[in-house]
Amino acid sequence: MNTSIAIVFALLGAFSQGLTSLLQRVANLDAPDKEVSLWTKTNYLLHQPLWIFGWICMGGTFVFTALALYFGELAVVQPILVTELIFTLALRALWLKDPIDRRVWGAAFIMCVGLFGFLMVARPQEGNGSPSARVWLVAIGSRCIIILVLFILSRWGSPARRAALLGACAAMMWAIDAAFVKVATTQLSQFGVLRLFVHWAVYAVIISGILGTIFLEAAFSAGPLTASQPALLIIDPLASIILGIQIFGETLNHSPVAITFQVLFLLVMFAGVWFLSQWAPPEQDGRSKKRPKLVPLNSLPLTLE
């Protein structure tokens, strides 16, 4: 039962994140040019209801994801969050009337097949949920070393290579952040809001979230989205699955046949993510003469059926 609740909240989190991206992009369509001061642009955005609603949806993303992690396993929640790509595409097609090629929807279907197949075969189960300090130190310390190596390597090479490596850094950090969020939500349920702030997890969530955002922005600035997005959306769920097993003792179906099919379905899902990142239509230029006519916000389907 808890797994079903986790899946629902994870899908809501993915939908909310897709809506956040679209709302903030639409709000920026008529924003002043880059040459104006930051204050002028910020003041403009603060008077845009869609931009403000986008921030509200961003908060909803965090809440839904935290609830999903509370009820479910990292191995369930983090892979499901890649469906953000599909929700974003659907909103772009329904609201902005962006042309979506058939092969893009085909890639989305491939991704869903891989995701559904993995969850059905793996059947992730909750572990002990009480990792020792040594387990945390080994798990997080080893990931931080990997992130440091990737960051150093990202200082050289083509823009695409640098963006991919920085995207991998962000993905690893978001996986760590998800583990911290899972602990923080458990502490919140046990001790309440006030006592939550005397525990380490909430501060770990803040620090890892800030670092993940910094790496993400660096990846977007370093090179093309077609390089950073696949690295982010492939490594994040993979790193989260491993962290869930290592830290929380989560278990997957580990028969030889099941492991083989889990790997195959993950490869299918990652292939779908890759193709979506390469084939999805580019972002609309807000000052293009072909700017789409916007559908009123109240006509959007805001709930999942």
What is the token pair recorded at 261?
A: 């099919």
User: d(Cα 235, Cα 207) in Å, to the nearest integer?
Assistant: 20
DSSP one-letter code for 298: G
Instruction: Work out the pLDDT band at 266, boundaries 50, 70, 90.
Output: very high
* pLDDT score of 127: 76
**25 vs 263 pLDDT, higher one:** 263
Is the separation of the CB atoms in 273 and 111 below 8 Å?
yes
pLDDT greater at residue 270 or residue 100: 270
- Report the SS3 class of residue 31: coil
pLDDT tens-place string over residues 25-54:
776 655 555 555 556 656 666 666 777 777
Q: How high is the pLDDT of residue 1?
A: 59
Query: Using CA atoms, how far apart are residues 264 and 262, in angstroms rounded to an integer?
Result: 5
The DSSP symbol for 287 reads T
* pTM of this structure: 0.83
CA distances from 70 to 64, 126, 165 (A): 10, 11, 30
Helical segments of the chain, H only: 2-27, 38-46, 49-71, 74-80, 84-94, 102-122, 133-153, 159-196, 200-222, 225-248, 256-279
Distance, in Å, from the CA atom of 305 to the CA atom of 302, rounded to the nearest integer, reads 10
Q: Which residues does residue 125 pair with via DSSP β-bridges, in sequence order?
A: 251
pLDDT above 90 coverage of the chain, percent = 51
The lowest-confidence range among 71-85, 145-159, 285-299 is 285-299
**CA nearest to 89, candidates 293, 288, 272:** 272
Q: Which amino acid is located at 281 in the chain?
A: P
- 54-63, 140-149, 188-197: which is most confident: 140-149
pLDDT at 35: 53
- Kindly list the distances between the CA atom of residue 264 and the CA atoms of 94, 109, 123, 261, in Å, as whole numbers in the listed order: 32, 16, 15, 5
